[in-house]
């Protein structure tokens, strides 16, 4: 297998943490987004949509989305389980992962890509350039606040997002929340359940990656 | 189990088609978005995020995202398989479903919610009101064109989106493309592979739902 990573971007970090939590070591190639390597001909041959992470399986199948990479590795390397151990928990893992991506990941990316001067013309990830929409960055900031509320509500009921144990959506949310610093957002002081959850994940060896 | 549906909205239609393709009959309750029932106290007790579809399992677990509902039903009712039959195909199903949601579903929803006078103040689904951003509706229209290109590229290589057989991402894309009519977009005449794929799915009994 070959894992295409980028040490500075949040999406590949999600896959990197998942791989580390599985205790796997996979041949890794670094794609520098700062140097525009995701748009170069070599990488576009691997993934024409110009996004990282990518996992190429031993059979040559190209998996370009975090959820696909995680599900594939979970099937091939079941221990430790990171996507639930019962049908209901497995469904809750997918549900919470989707909620975190939509309610957290999307507005955080929108806030950054539509406001940062260095991302001018790069408001959407992928091979096509799009202008920034400042009003969208503002709306996204409001939505990030709602996402923190949503996390806090859930983590007051449950130690981890999907179920009693640490699973994929915890990785997704952890990476998104650390990345939110680029748009000057951190877990609010009063969100004590979220802070306890964050500290527990921050203490895991994978979190250093 | 109880399935909360809405006959006029695209997201619950995805779950409805999946249930029909499985040959299941599940107790169904209609939530009228036109009447605002998704924001009423009865439904908010089921799903505080105010979205349909929802599947409540026999154990009382509330599943609020299409991917979670599909994965749960696939595990409980494996035949016919709609999410792949090998680890690689199962990963490709999740990958293509995510691509269709992000590259197709998101811009179609953005185009509608940020332009339609009847959705003023409802630019984001869920319990909180957001103003429309007309510039976002325009950008979304451009992205819908790119999504049709992406579909055509894929369907020139593969009869169905994820693999050789009809699976979840085909349902997702079919529902999204039919819904795109509300923002005056249809499969371009010259996208012959997509039109062949569309006609094949349109002929399935589930497509009438």
Instruction: Give CA B98 to chain center in angstroms.
Output: 11
Whether the predicted pLDDT of A11 surpasses 90: yes
Query: Are B92 and A68 a contacting pair, CB within 8 Å?
Result: yes
- Distance of CA B133 to CAs A24, B100, B117, B149, Å? 44, 23, 12, 25
Query: Are B106 and B180 a contacting pair, CB within 8 Å?
Result: no
Domain B87-204 matching CATH 3.90.330.10: the answer reads no
The confidence score (pLDDT) of residue B38 equals 94
Determine the Cα–Cα distance for residues B155 and B173; give it in Å rounded to an integer: 12
Q: Is residue A16 within 8 angstroms of chain B, CB to CB?
A: no
The answer for A 17-56 residues in CB contact with B (under 8 A) is: 48-49
Whether the predicted pLDDT of A126 surpasses 90: no
- CATH numeric code, A2-76: 3.40.30.10
Nearest residue of A to residue B77, measured between CA atoms: A87
What is the value of ipTM here, to two decimals?
0.97
Whether the predicted pLDDT of A127 surpasses 90: no
Q: Is residue A138 within 8 angstroms of chain B, CB to CB?
A: no
Determine the Cα–Cα distance for residues A17 and B168; give it in Å rounded to an integer: 27
**A17-64: per-residue pLDDT in tens?**
999 999 999 999 999 999 999 999 999 999 999 999 999 999 999 999
Instruction: Give CA B9 to chain center in angstroms.
Output: 9
Nearest residue of A to residue B130, measured between CA atoms: A139
Q: Is residue B59 within 8 angstroms of chain A, CB to CB?
A: yes
What is the band of A4 on the pLDDT scale with cuts at 50, 70, 90?
A: very high
% of chain A at pLDDT higher than 90: 98
Nearest to A168 by CA among A56, A48, A73: A73
Whether the predicted pLDDT of A125 surpasses 90: no
The distance of A128 to chain B (nearest Cα, Å) reads 9
Contact B72 A61 (CB under 8 A): no
Torsion, Cα of A4, B92, B180, B8 (10° steps):
-130
Residues 6+ apart with CB under 8 A from A146: A103, B128
Q: Residue ranges of chain B with pLDDT lower than 50?
A: none
- The 3-state DSSP class for residue B55 equals strand
Contact B94 A88 (CB under 8 A): no
> Which H helix or E strand runs over A110?
helix A106-113
Domain ranges of chain A: 2-76, 87-208
**B152-208: per-residue pLDDT in tens?**
999 999 999 999 999 999 999 999 999 999 999 999 999 999 999 999 999 999 999
CB-closest option in B91, B128, B143 to A71: B91
**A58-88: per-residue pLDDT in tens?**
999 999 999 999 999 999 999 999 999 999 9
User: Which ranges in B47-191 belong to alpha helices (H)?
Assistant: 66-76, 87-99, 106-113, 134-157, 168-179
**A134-161: per-residue pLDDT in tens?**
999 999 999 999 999 999 999 999 999 9
Determine the Cα–Cα distance for residues B147 and B102; give it in Å rounded to an integer: 10
Contact A64 B99 (CB under 8 A): yes
Q: Is residue B133 within 8 angstroms of chain A, CB to CB?
A: yes
CATH class of the domain defined by A87-208: mainly alpha
Contact B90 A69 (CB under 8 A): no
The confidence score (pLDDT) of residue B127 equals 85
The confidence score (pLDDT) of residue B125 equals 86
Nearest residue of B to residue A87, measured between CA atoms: B72
What is the band of A195 on the pLDDT scale with cuts at 50, 70, 90?
A: very high
């Amino acid at each position: 297998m070959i894992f295409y990573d980028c040490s500075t971007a949040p999406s590949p970090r999600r896959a990197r943490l998942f791989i580390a939590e599985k205790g796997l070591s996979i041949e890794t190639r670094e794609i520098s987004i700062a140097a525009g390597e995701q748009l170069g001909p070599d990488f576009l041959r691997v993934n024409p949509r110009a996004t990282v992470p990518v996992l190429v399986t031993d059979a040559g199948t190209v998996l370009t989305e975090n959820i696909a990479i995680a599900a594939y590795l979970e099937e091939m390397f079941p221990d430790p389980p990171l996507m639930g151990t019962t049908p209901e928990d497995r469904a809750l893992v997918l549900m919470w992962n989707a909620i975190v991506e939509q309610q957290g990941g999307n507005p955080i990316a929108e806030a950054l890509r539509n406001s940062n001067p260095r991302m001018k013309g790069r408001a959407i990830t992928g091979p096509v350039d799009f202008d920034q929409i400042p009003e969208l960055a503002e709306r996204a900031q409001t939505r990030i606040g709602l996402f923190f509320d949503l996390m806090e509500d859930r983590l007051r009921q449950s130690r981890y997002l999907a179920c009693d144990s640490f699973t994929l959506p915890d990785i997704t949310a952890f990476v998104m929340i650390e990345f939110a610093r680029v748009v000057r957002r951190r877990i609010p002081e009063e969100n004590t359940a979220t802070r306890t959850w964050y500290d527990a994940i921050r203490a895991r060896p994978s979190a250093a990656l």
